[in-house]
């Protein structure tokens, strides 16, 4: 199969569950899913949506949200998920940039953003089986955009990464193969469906593997294990913050509540090896780390699910990957450089941004802006963002190394490192930390910890304690406000 429309059709004659609502327990079989997607296709077609259009989606995690993505792709349009945490001005900017034919949204989300000055026609998420039959539609092609995901915009306005049917199906298929998913598997999706991780790993990969997906409205630390016990998933996608929250819960679920899980998957942010080991030790569930970014659909690397996995590494490449220096020459194992990617998972480009696309994809390779190194066995280790590199008196400092050192302290729950201006050295290291509620620690103790583990130029010049670090919707620490705070104080 080469399009998402073909993926939906491939489940049309199967009576096994395809989607399950976590809260209500509603089960949608493969053949029911095909019918529900067809009904949504009729609604979109009646609103004038056709191949080449965009369909903006402002919905919480739900069966309707998942079905709307598939329906838009079946029409030949590209779904444009909108982050539920965005404000009205941010949403209006996206709508002006993407120019969707329609916006699919529920009343609650629209009320929270009202008034949207320049919104396209709005469709609700409700199914209407009585809608007129869809007219004859042009079939989508493998190289048509099926999804436009707006990136976090760490270097300015968000950019819409255009992912084709081919991108999505190749990455989902490679992930399913790597994880050895079968029709006996079930994925619990607690990540937000406005991000690539949930769409690819939580929806498309299980559909492609003949497995099923349990759609939860969001991650809740006090309900996660109850959902696992009730629905018996074999895996779930997570981010480091979720594992930290589960570790902070005082009670350990009984083994029967965890028995169905083969492993958990983790990504979207660098993962401290101490966190992985602590989680696995307490709950007895392996955690498989991977690396990717929206521009490569979802995953570019994954740890093996067998005994070769390497906690602290983000695994082995799924497609061609290089580590290069500033002159784009390959560097030897152990040397940090920029990560470049190439393959069927790399985006078509940024939507209506040819210059940004050309900068990102030079010489046939996606320049990720991420720093990493390869070890002697080919495993990838992330060092941070190239834009986050701290240069102190001519010495390069990789924030990830300092953060890992800080997180090794038993009293520190969270840590983030940024560079701050300095009149003598140009930049110095500032560390922002949050301590564990049950433990106390001061800056002097943290400084002593670092002094015995880091070269003097890598040690934080300032250590700032916060109740918790600022985070985005996927749990990734937001460093921009921390840089601003450091800049104002320095």
DSSP string across 6-37? HHHHHTTT--SEEEEETTT--EEEHHHHHHHH
- CA end-to-end span of the chain: 56
Spatial neighbors of 174 by CB under 8 A, at least 6 apart, are 299, 318, 319, 345
The 10 Å Cβ neighbour count of residue 217 is: 16
CA–CA gap between residue 262 and residue 228 (Å, rounded) = 12
| 128 or 409: which leads in pLDDT | 409
Segment 437-453 shows an average pLDDT of: 93
Token digits of residue 443: 């800056």
Residues 6+ apart with CB under 8 A from 248: 221, 413, 437
Residue 241's pLDDT is 80
pLDDT (mean) for 424-436: 92
Phi, psi of 393 (to 5 degrees): 55, 35
The reported pLDDT for the residue numbered 192 is 92
DSSP state of 315: B
Q: Are 165 and 148 contacting, i.e. CB atoms less than 8 angstroms apart?
A: no
Burial class (CB in 10 A: 0-12, 13-18, 19+), 304: middle
Among 123-137, 221-235, 435-449, 460-474, the least confident range:
123-137
Strand partners, 419: 429
Q: Tens digit of pLDDT for each residue in 289-321?
A: 999 999 999 999 999 998 888 888 999 999 999
Highest mean pLDDT among 339-353, 409-423, 474-488 belongs to 339-353
Section 28-49 average pLDDT: 96
- pLDDT for 154: 44
Note the pLDDT of residue 90. 84
Number of H-type helices and E-type strands within the chain: 16, 26
Compute the distance between CA of residue 277 and CA of residue 280 in angstroms, rounded to an integer: 5
Beta strands 102-105; 301-302: pairing state: unpaired
| b/e map 134-148, b = 16+ CB within 10 Å | beebeebebebbbbb
Six-digit token pair at 58? 């402002």
- pLDDT value for 248: 87
Residue 6 to residues 2, 205, 385: CA-CA distances in angstroms?
7, 14, 38
Q: Kindly report, residue by residue over 115-163, the tens digit of the pLDDT.
A: 887 789 999 999 887 666 767 788 999 999 999 999 864 445 789 999 9
CB 70 within 8 A of CB 78: no
Please list, in sequence order, all residues whose beta carbon lies within 8 angstroms of the beta carbon of residue 85, skipping any fewer than 6 positions away: 473
Q: What pLDDT score does 152 carry?
A: 60
Is the pLDDT at 12 greater than 60? The verdict is yes
Q: Which two tokens mark 374?
A: 């390869």
- Residue 29: burial class (beta carbons within 10 Å; 0-12, 13-18, 19+): middle
| Residues forming beta bridges with residue 55, ordered by sequence position | 79, 102
- Of all residues in the chain, the percent with pLDDT exceeding 70 is 97
Is the pLDDT at 16 greater than 70? The verdict is yes
Q: How far apart are CA 305 and CA 202, in angstroms?
A: 18
Interhelix angle 399-407/273-283, rounded to 10 degrees, is 40
pLDDT in tens, 248-290: 888 889 898 899 999 999 986 667 788 899 999 999 999 999 9
- All domains of the chain in start order, with CATH: 4-374 (3.40.50.12780), 389-489 (3.30.300.30)
- In Å, how far from its chain's centre is CA 210? 22
CB contact at 8 A, 300 and 321? yes
Give the distance from CA 455 to its chain's centroid: 33
CA–CA separation, 16 and 18 (whole Å): 6
Q: Looking at the DSSP assignment, which residues form a beta bridge with residue 395?
A: 392
Evaluate if residue 333 carries a pLDDT over 70: yes
Q: By CB neighbour count within 10 A (0-12 exposed, 13-18 middle, 19+ buried), where does 82 fall?
A: buried
Q: Note whether 58 and 116 are within 8 A (CB).
A: no
pLDDT digits (tens, 9 = 90+) for 337-394: 999 999 999 999 999 999 999 999 999 999 999 999 999 999 999 988 777 888 887 7
What pLDDT score does 156 carry?
A: 57
Place of tokens 């460093």: 479
Q: Is the confidence at residue 487, as pLDDT, over 50?
A: yes
What is the distance, to the nearest Å, from the Cα of residue 166 to the centroid of all Cα atoms in its chain?
19
Mean pLDDT across the chain: 92
List beta partners, residue 162.
148, 349
pLDDT reading at 438 higher than 90? no
Where does 76-133 have alpha helices with state H? 88-98, 107-113
């Amino acid at each position: 199969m080469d399009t998402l429309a073909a993926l939906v059709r491939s489940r049309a004659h199967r009576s096994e569950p395809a989607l399950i609502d976590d809260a209500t327990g509603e089960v949608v079989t493969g053949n029911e899913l095909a019918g529900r997607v067809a009904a949504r296709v009729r609604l979109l077609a009646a609103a004038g949506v056709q191949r080449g259009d965009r369909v903006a989606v402002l919905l919480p995690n739900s069966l309707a949200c998942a079905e709307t993505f598939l329906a838009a792709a079946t029409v030949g349009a590209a779904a444009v998920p909108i982050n539920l945490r965005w404000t009205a001005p941010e949403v209006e900017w996206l709508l002006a940039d993407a120019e969707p034919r329609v916006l699919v949204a529920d009343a609650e989300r629209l009320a929270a953003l009202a008034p949207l000055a320049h919104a396209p026609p709005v469709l609700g998420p409700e199914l209407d089986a009585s809608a007129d039959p869809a007219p004859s539609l042009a079939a989508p092609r493998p190289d048509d955009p099926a999804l436009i995901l707006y990136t976090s915009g760490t270097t300015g306005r968000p950019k819409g990464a255009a992912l084709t049917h081919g991108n999505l199906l190749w990455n989902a298929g490679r992930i399913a193969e790597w994880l050895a998913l079968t029709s006996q598997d079930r994925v619990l999706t607690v990540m937000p469906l406005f991000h690539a991780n949930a769409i690819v790993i939580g929806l498309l990969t299980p559909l492609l593997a003949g497995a099923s997906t349990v759609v939860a409205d969001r991650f809740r630390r006090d309900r996660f294990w109850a959902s696992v016990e009730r629905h018996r998933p074999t895996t779930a996608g997570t981010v480091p913050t979720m594992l930290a929250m589960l570790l902070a819960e005082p009670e350990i679920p009984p083994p029967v509540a965890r028995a169905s899980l083969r492993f958990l998957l983790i990504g979207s942010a660098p993962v401290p090896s101490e966190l992985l080991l602590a989680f696995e030790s307490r709950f007895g569930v392996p955690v498989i780390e991977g690396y990717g970014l929206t521009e490569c659909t979802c995953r570019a690397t994954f740890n093996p699910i067998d005994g070769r996995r390497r906690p602290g590494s983000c695994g082995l490449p799924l497609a061609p990957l290089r580590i290069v220096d500033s002159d784009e020459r390959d560097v030897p194992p152990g040397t940090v450089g920029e990560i470049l990617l190439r393959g069927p998972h790399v985006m078509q480009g940024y939507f209506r941004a040819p210059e940004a696309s050309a900068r990102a994809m030079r010489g046939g390779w996606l320049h990720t802006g991420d720093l990493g190194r390869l070890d002697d066995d080919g495993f990838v280790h992330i060092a941070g963002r190239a834009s986050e590199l701290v240069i102190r008196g001519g010495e390069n400092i990789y924030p990830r190394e300092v953060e890992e050192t800080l997180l090794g302290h038993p009293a520190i729950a969270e840590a983030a490192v940024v560079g701050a201006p300095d009149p003598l050295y140009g930049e110095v290291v500032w560390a922002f930390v949050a301590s564990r509620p049950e433990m106390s620690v001061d800056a002097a103790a943290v400084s002593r910890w670092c002094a015995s583990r880091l070269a003097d130029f890598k040690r934080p010049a300032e250590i700032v304690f916060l109740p918790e670090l600022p985070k985005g919707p996927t749990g990734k620490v937001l460093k921009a406000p921390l840089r601003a705070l450091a800049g104002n104080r320095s």
